[in-house]
Structure 1
């Protein structure tokens, strides 16, 4: 742990960086940062490569959807696997799967034999690994830190993703402009090695697990989520936010290429600004929730995201600098909303079915993102890029008062286990 943080008292119990007091959390967080960095480099490469392979806005939007669709389709099964088997081994299997898929994608791209369909197939394979890894990884946070640091650990884990998101896209754009997307894909394959090495050395103490048949396990998780009113409301908010937010995000490569007439580096800078905004926000989300409550934080963050993305629909009139400022602000709204939803779900899910509950949350939220990305790509092909992005932002604003009425965020002690 850096001495500066310790001297400042930032790693004391209850402090912003308290989870870093735990060696397992530090090691996994650092390795996960490396893996996320590689994933973001690959994401930029895949999205930009698709704009070169096809003129279809729908196919470009599907690059992002292809990462989230497997989470929607396989997430519930992944949750049952996480609850029935050693979560560390499940994470290892997922990392190996993603390493193989990224390696093959790099090889085919280097050989010049990649096309729009095969590119989507490989990104779907990586998405399948993400779907398998997600519930086991999120549920394992309880094995890495003490109960009092769980909420902050979840927020800090989002920093790893968004730190990579702020650096990875710009680095990816630079690599692509100097070499080719194949190098970006190869670097992503190598990035999984660090996390695999850490997981091989990590042997947490875990209570013995009682295994149940797959569909019996899934049924138990679905039953709990369906009968818990607070959980149902969190799932509803995740679905709606995911659908509206992904619609604007999925079209960002087209905004850079067609409206800003930018390059791969410009696209990386846009995604980097989004990630930087997420990092800045992630540090104060937990204190904000304690002070004002989840409903206020989610509501304000949703409005901020929608209003920040609206000008992006007219990026050709505002230029790159204004676009960067807008996506920076949108990144803050994004992480504040999703982190609050994730924490609300974790605190209301029993340990015995935690993996299944988190997988259902991921399936619903990422399913909303996949559907939103597909719908926005279709709308852009039909009505144009600006109306599609503007429509997604408007839908988010209109949906907020409805959500606050039919699916308010759970009160602080409501439904906690």
Structure 2
């Protein structure tokens, strides 16, 4: 009887052909990006070896995500995602070719390197939220968490291969060769996107959101989502301190260890290889630890790694530190990313992921710059030691913010009736639309005073539902003469935004509204009404 080998759990999402093709193409582009990052970091040690300038290479690559991720996420939610991704890759390709040409002709200075690194980072900033939100389209729900983890494995496999390739390319043909390899790698992804036949989105009855309104809706969703806020807080504290290694590693290898670009690439390769191995172990780890505990222990492990680096004078203990660092990095990073994606429904997913990404990339840029400043004043090892101590303390402080109570946005339906307002009067139909001005919505409840506490608790979640769905304000009032009478008021930007509220609610949101309505004590259901603002 022939022996049948089962596919490892980590590889299961690759059974979907479109995901597999785009994953492989993204792997190629990520390898090129790491080749580019290695070349830029090493070249700066020759152009201007000051610790602050070397760390600014990482700042220049990460700061665009902080600045552009939110508009990029909004655009990815409201225009064709495939065309958007193609545009981002074409921009990165053009900037990589310019960088390679300037480096080859010897006309590239330190500030030119930072500027073009920033431009390439801008393309990546446009790419990140769109690609992350696309994952949900390429695999079914049961493979989503595995696909997110596999994206992390691919990213770290690229981190294992890219720096090593970059180090040898620099040694053989200079930094311009690393930049040219990056340009070639993005051609692969562009071709994969050209051949991707994304299903056309269903035409809705309402106009598409405009950019500014979409950005505001994304911010309101995140601010009213405890799960998203917890994921962002935990990510910020993790990446703020761990970014010290990214900012200082080129100088650490060159000055502390006295080694060359090949060793720099290999150190990054050790870290990437460790991250890949840890990524394969993540499915088993998820069966033993919840997400919050996983991030906590990974945070302590990465601080241990930075402490080992701070004390190292030889490449062997330094390699051990990078080994631990890589495993901890992907364990925390993949877990936090999965939590953020699971917390966001489809209509706002790219924007929510963008806000998550701009938060941790912003603190990574800040952490890298702070590490460079501390390294310039006190030395590289003290800067790494300070980051290790600060990261451990921060992990303990934020441990109580849980990221586990996150259900998929598309959960099982519930049978519940929501308060429904009357249809608009025919005489006002012409005034209702995208430019109608604010709409005030109201629901009146009758609540048994004995159930006041339960009602207030239920309305706390109703408040978050309204704000997540697009409300710009929300209030709850109690009648001072009749304590059983309550009125809930919230406002949206326009009549069109009011109509979008219904499409944005998840089944969990509807269940929260039904729980509040179930406390209403009257023969008729709660009375709902809508009011048009007629005085500007």
Q: TM-score, normalised by structure 1?
A: 0.95
Contact 2:237 2:395 in 1 (8 A): no
1:357 alignment counterpart: 352
Contact 1:230 1:414 in 2 (8 A): no
Contact 2:298 2:331 in 1 (8 A): yes
Q: Does residue 128 of structure 1 match 2:128?
A: no
**How is 1:39-50 mapped onto 2 (pairs within 5 angstroms)?**
39-50=33-44
2:321 to 323, 326, 330: 326
Over residues 322-358 of structure 1, what are the superposed CA-to-partner deviations in whole Å (9 max), with x where a residue is unaligned?
1112101110000000100100011110100101000
Question: SS in structure 1 opposite 2:220?
Answer: helix
2:366 alignment counterpart: 371
Q: Does residue 79 of structure 1 match 2:79?
A: no
Q: Does residue 305 of structure 1 match 2:302?
A: yes
Contact 2:244 2:371 in 1 (8 A): yes
1:163 alignment counterpart: 157
Over residues 160-179 of structure 1, what are the superposed CA-to-partner deviations in whole Å (9 max), with x where a residue is unaligned?
11111111111111111111
C-alpha separation between the residues in 2 aligned to 1:276 and 1:62?
25
2:471 alignment counterpart: none
C-alpha separation between the residues in 1 aligned to 2:319 and 2:202?
49
1:22 alignment counterpart: 16
Q: Higher Cα Rg: structure 1 or 2?
A: 2
1:199 alignment counterpart: 193
Higher relative contact order (CA 8 A, sep 6+): 1
1:3 alignment counterpart: none
**How is 1:337-348 mapped onto 2 (pairs within 5 angstroms)?**
337-348=332-343
1:385 alignment counterpart: 380
2:501 alignment counterpart: none
Relative to structure 1, the CA distance from residue 413 to residue 349 in structure 2 (aligned partners, 3 Å threshold; closer, same or farther) is: closer
1:239 alignment counterpart: 236
* Aligned-residue offset at 1:410: 3.0
Q: TM-score, normalised by structure 2?
A: 0.74
Over residues 249-303 of structure 1, what are the superposed CA-to-partner deviations in whole Å (9 max), with x where a residue is unaligned?
2100011000000000000010001101110011122332243200111111111
Question: SS in structure 1 opposite 2:10?
Answer: coil
2:277 alignment counterpart: 280
Question: SS in structure 2 opposite 1:16?
Answer: helix
Over residues 58-85 of structure 1, what are the superposed CA-to-partner deviations in whole Å (9 max), with x where a residue is unaligned?
1101111111100001000000000011
C-alpha separation between the residues in 2 aligned to 1:330 and 1:341?
16
2:288 alignment counterpart: 291
Question: SS in structure 2 opposite 1:292?
Answer: coil
Larger relative strand fraction? 2
Q: Does residue 109 of structure 1 match 2:114?
A: no
Contact 1:165 1:272 in 2 (8 A): yes
**How is 1:399-410 mapped onto 2 (pairs within 5 angstroms)?**
399-405=394-400, 407-410=401-404
* Aligned-residue offset at 1:206: 4.2
* Aligned-residue offset at 1:55: 2.4
Over residues 88-112 of structure 1, what are the superposed CA-to-partner deviations in whole Å (9 max), with x where a residue is unaligned?
1111101000000000000000000
Question: SS in structure 2 opposite 1:106?
Answer: helix
* Aligned-residue offset at 1:7: 4.7
Q: Does residue 411 of structure 1 match 2:405?
A: yes
Larger relative helix fraction? 1
Over residues 153-196 of structure 1, what are the superposed CA-to-partner deviations in whole Å (9 max), with x where a residue is unaligned?
01111111111111111111111111100011011001100000
Contact 1:151 1:286 in 2 (8 A): no
C-alpha separation between the residues in 2 aligned to 1:326 and 1:247?
13
* Aligned-residue offset at 1:314: 2.5
2:211 alignment counterpart: 214
C-alpha separation between the residues in 2 aligned to 1:314 and 1:134?
35
C-alpha separation between the residues in 2 aligned to 1:267 and 1:294?
32
* Aligned-residue offset at 1:413: 4.1
Extract unaligned runs of 5+ from structure 1. 1-5
Contact 2:342 2:406 in 1 (8 A): no
Question: SS in structure 2 opposite 1:199?
Answer: helix
C-alpha separation between the residues in 1 aligned to 2:390 and 2:408?
29
Contact 1:61 1:250 in 2 (8 A): yes
Question: SS in structure 1 opposite 2:288?
Answer: helix
Contact 1:255 1:315 in 2 (8 A): no
Question: SS in structure 2 opposite 1:128?
Answer: helix
C-alpha separation between the residues in 2 aligned to 1:268 and 1:55?
18
* Aligned-residue offset at 1:380: 0.8
Count how many residue pairs are aligned between Structure 1 and Structure 2. Answer: 406
C-alpha separation between the residues in 2 aligned to 1:33 and 1:404?
33
Question: SS in structure 2 opposite 1:140?
Answer: helix
Relative to structure 1, the CA distance from residue 10 to residue 414 in structure 2 (aligned partners, 3 Å threshold; closer, same or farther) is: closer
* Aligned-residue offset at 1:315: 2.3
